[in-house]
Amino acid sequence: MRPECQSCPVRRDGLCASASDAHLIALGNIKHPLWQVQAGGCVFAEGDASETVFIIRRGWAVASTFHENGRRQVLRFAMPGSMVGFETTADGFMPCTTEALTDLTVCPIPRQSLIRLCQSAPELALRMASLLAAETISDWRLLGGLGTCNATERIARLLLALCQRQNRAFGTGEEEFALPITQTLIADATGLTSVHVCRTLKEMRAVGLLSFMKGRLRIMDWSRLAELAEMSGSRESDFPTPTPNPRLGPEAWSEAAWRRMSDRCPSSVHIGSHVGST
């Protein structure tokens, strides 16, 4: 077994979680040396004919695609343990672009070699299918909110899902989380403008839901944020779970209150800033 496989920080949660020592050795034999991608660098681009699957060991990445009108849609935020690059279009090209949000360490594995290994290791194949299905379901539910939720609910769903994923992966039980994403990225993930995202984040901070600074997010009230997002209040839930007959209750949650708070927020913001830096 390769030394980097023995010390892999995502071995407990990623593809290798169910792998036997023999399968770990087999994976080590087919994988390429680790890649280091600097923040802002591209792992692969939409339309590339990539033959490599990547498992993220350290750092965050973002997968996105561009619409015909030139606007970008963020599809997924990938964290340690995530697998990116397995899906291809019918003609074998990458359907999206994946970029490093922070300095990134990835484990590259040739796609066809991985498929052949899975054919001889059913438990590894099931683990990979489970990981891909889980991420797909999570993506569906977050993207589905674009058509059914208002701006505040969309942002709440995204932030809560990112925090729950970190709690599930690291089991910290903390209220403070890494959030190395800009307001522009939140806008591209929620179908909003950066100005609208800035105003909404200020409103959420003003009513005591969360605070943020220097790439960190602290959730002040899990239950209220989960109610607003119409998601499970569990800190380790990986997916949004609709709550029956959601009621926002307090006057502070009414649409009128949100509008009144929006009127007090400045309309001029620095669009490219990280969350909480304005």
* Neighbouring residues of 32: CB distance < 8 A, sequence distance ≥ 6: 52, 108, 109, 110
pLDDT tens by residue, the chain, 278 residues:
666 777 787 877 788 877 788 888 898 899 999 999 999 999 999 999 999 999 999 999 999 999 888 889 999 999 998 999 999 998 989 999 999 999 999 999 999 999 999 998 888 899 899 888 888 888 887 777 787 889 999 999 999 889 888 887 655 556 789 899 999 999 999 999 999 999 999 999 999 999 988 889 999 998 899 888 876 545 555 443 433 333 334 444 444 444 434 443 433 233 234 565 44
For domain 3-137, give the fold.
Jelly Rolls (2.60.120)
Pick the CATH number of 149-264 from 1.10.357.10, 1.10.357.140, 1.10.3720.10, 1.10.10.10: 1.10.10.10
Write down the residue that tokens 């609910």 correspond to. 153
Amino acid in the structure at residue 136: T
**Strand ranges inside the chain, DSSP E:** 35-37, 42-44, 52-58, 61-66, 72-78, 83-84, 97-100, 104-110, 176-178, 210-213, 216-219
pLDDT at 93: 95
Nearest one of 35, 55, 232 to 127, comparing CA atoms: 55
Q: What is the rounded distance in angstroms from the CA atom of residue 137 to the CA atom of residue 134?
A: 5
pLDDT at 20: 81
pLDDT at 266: 36
Nearest one of 61, 197, 187 to 135, comparing CA atoms: 61
Domain boundaries, the chain: 3-137, 149-264
pTM over cut 0.85: no
